[in-house]
Amino acid sequence: MTDSQAAGRDSRTPDPMQADRNLAMELVRATEAAAIRAVPWIGRGNKNGADKAAVDAMRKFLSTVEFQGRVVIGEGEKDEAPMLYNGEIVGNGEGPECDIAVDPIDGTSLTAAGRHNALSVIAVADRGTMYDPKDLYYMEKLATGPEGVGVVDLARPIGENVKALAKAKGKPVEDMVVAILDRPRHEQLIHDVREAGAGTELLLDGDVAGGINAARPDSRIDMCVGIGGTPEGIITACALKALGGVLHGRMYPRNDEERERALAAGHDLDAVLTQDDLVKTDNTYFVATGVTDGGLCAGVRRFGDRIFTDSLVLRSRSGTVRRVEAEHLVAKWL
């Protein structure tokens, strides 16, 4: 920058590179807040109450983040504020322009029941790069770690994928663990995985955590497969870009009406989409804070006058994986 350019810049104008570097650490404040506010609802049987508490907290903190975020994946409609609705603009209006996907609680049913693996999640990518899931809300998904690059293919039978990945990882098939949402629609899939010789980890909810754990070197999960939400697939893609993993997806219409709508919108229902189709940039962030204890993050805990949170922060451009353990004064949250 020349002296004249520097002189012409308003001293209050943020350095965009500085804002970019700090974005992940600002975002984690929003997931921490959502997780903390959800705690009083854990095990209370009221998933809507838990969700609203988390949404309100996340929305408030996102308004302070130095970026120009557009919600591509949210919840609620505009006339149902304070939900984070699709198309809403969040942030303080300065810094980088971004697409944002939010899930204030990934696992509202888990939270309401007091079960493990509930998370508060945010994913961010460059503006205009996130796939818009408005036409189909479900997809078949397959997620693995870096060993699956060029090895697995959603178009192949699951048994072939399990055996190919086992070979690539250098481990016996019988030591492989495949995570699958525990749903009636997956009965045949579960049977086929076990028939191939692998074991299963059946998830009550939350396939975002399952997909990420499939790419983590310290996880017992080798692969995550099954039919789940398209929004969750896009969020997972942001994380796997930072972990060097693989995500394949294929749109899954649940009925003739959804099929016709998708075809009319120009979707190829046989196409296998990769993480690069779902998020068309190598500059992504993924932030998750544990609400309840799980394999990805520990849940919120309170000891005396302190609240403890555990978060995972990923950035694809730098390839960094950060674990953020924070202490919060209870008095600040009363």
Tell me the C-alpha to C-alpha distance, in Å, between residue 118 and each of 113, 146, 261, 333.
Answer: 10, 25, 32, 21
Given a contact cutoff of 8 angstroms between Cβ atoms, the answer to whether 147 and 243 are in contact is no
The answer to the question of whether 270 is labelled as a binding residue is no
Per-residue model confidence as pLDDT tens digits over 10-48: 444 444 444 455 788 899 999 999 999 999 999 999 999
The answer to the question of whether 108 is labelled as a binding residue is yes
- CA 205 centroid distance within chain: 13
- In this structure, of 27-31, 101-105, 132-136, 308-312, the range with the lowest mean pLDDT score is 132-136
Class of domain 138-278: alpha beta
Mean pLDDT across 292-320: 95
pLDDT at 181 over 70: yes
The answer to the question of whether 305 is labelled as a binding residue is no
DSSP characters over 65-133: SSSEEEEEE--S-GGGTTS--TT-EES-S-S-EEEEEEEEEE-HHHHHHT-S--EEEEEEEETT-B--T
The answer to the question of whether 107 is labelled as a binding residue is yes
Residues 152, 248: Cα–Cα separation, whole Å: 9
195's tokens: 């028939």
Mean pLDDT across 304-313: 97
Three-state secondary-structure class, residue 18:
helix
The answer to the question of whether 285 is labelled as a binding residue is no
Phi/psi region, residue 107 (left: phi>0; alpha: psi -120 to 50; beta: rest), is: left
- Averaged confidence pLDDT in the chain: 90
pTM of the model: 0.88
* Sequence spans of domains, the chain: 22-129+283-332, 138-278
What residues have CB less than 8 Å from 312, skipping those under 6 apart?
A: 212, 286, 287, 288, 296, 297, 321, 322, 323, 324
Given a contact cutoff of 8 angstroms between Cβ atoms, the answer to whether 129 and 280 are in contact is yes
Residue whose entry in the numeric block shows the structure tokens 């205009």: 128
Residues 125-144, buried b or exposed e (16+ Cβ, 10 A)?
Answer: bbbebbbebebbbbbbbbbb
- The CATH number given to 22-129+283-332 is 3.30.540.10
The answer to the question of whether 317 is labelled as a binding residue is no
Given a contact cutoff of 8 angstroms between Cβ atoms, the answer to whether 211 and 141 are in contact is yes
The answer to the question of whether 183 is labelled as a binding residue is yes
Residue whose entry in the numeric block shows the structure tokens 């998750």: 288
Per-residue model confidence as pLDDT tens digits over 241-281: 999 999 999 999 999 999 998 898 888 999 999 999 999 99
Q: Confidence class of residue 85 from pLDDT cuts 50, 70 and 90?
A: confident
The answer to the question of whether 103 is labelled as a binding residue is yes
